[in-house]
Amino acid sequence: MEIGDLGIRLRARRTAAGETISAVAIRAGLSVPYIANLENGRGNPTLTALTALAGALGADLVVDLADKGDQADETGRAGKPAGSRPPVPASLTRFARTPRFSAEADRLAEHSGRPAAVQRELLLSAMSGVAAAGTDSDELTELDWHRILDAVVLISRDLRTGT
């Protein structure tokens, strides 16, 4: 995994949990600038720092030496190229802190059987992808994010019910 990809995943997990960099830094015993640099694709983190960050984010650090081209996503499916996740725009990061986003993510987690933090990260990734397919996602408003969330919720509801 490239440092830029790691930064995207760290930021997505942190924002999905509604956490600030400062709160994560305190729990991980790391500095705010260090974590900010990692989230922005800069730096060369140690395994010790990544382990502390994972723990502060309620996750486990998994290190795997795989053959090149044998990348797997968080569900264990191979073939997804590294870095294929769209970045989470700042406006979506703000929206992810709203009670509505949290409630919908929690409800989706309950129906899917996934842990809430994983579901929030997947929801952020899905919403970023939908936005990236249509427009410059940095210009989307909170109302736009509500509409995208509505669409994702409706699609997931249809998939669950088979209608």
| Paired strand residues for 72 | 78
- State the pLDDT at residue 85: 61
Quick check: 4 pLDDT over 60? yes
Quick check: 71 pLDDT over 60? no
Mean pLDDT of 158-162: 64
Q: What is the DSSP string of 37-69?
A: HHHTT-S---HHHHHHHHHHTT---------TT
- State the pLDDT at residue 22: 94
Quick check: 67 pLDDT over 70? no
8 Å CB contact between 115 and 34: no
Q: Note the pLDDT tens digit of each residue in 105-159.
A: 888 888 888 878 778 888 888 888 887 777 666 678 889 899 999 988 888 876 6
- State the pLDDT at residue 113: 84
- State the pLDDT at residue 117: 78
Quick check: 41 pLDDT over 60? yes
Long-range contacts of 132-135 (CB under 8 A, 24+ apart): 132/86
Long-range contacts of 48-52 (CB under 8 A, 24+ apart): 52/28
CB neighbours of 45 closer than 8 A, spacing ≥ 6?
A: 3, 6, 38, 53
Name the band, by pLDDT with cuts 50, 70 and 90, for residue 16: confident
- State the pLDDT at residue 73: 47
What amino acid is encoded at 24 in this protein? V
Phi, psi of 72 (to 5 degrees): -130, 150
Measured on CA atoms in the order 145, 148, 154, 160, is the torsion positive or negative? Answer: negative
Prediction pTM value: 0.54
Percentage above 90 pLDDT, the chain: 18
Name the band, by pLDDT with cuts 50, 70 and 90, for residue 75: very low
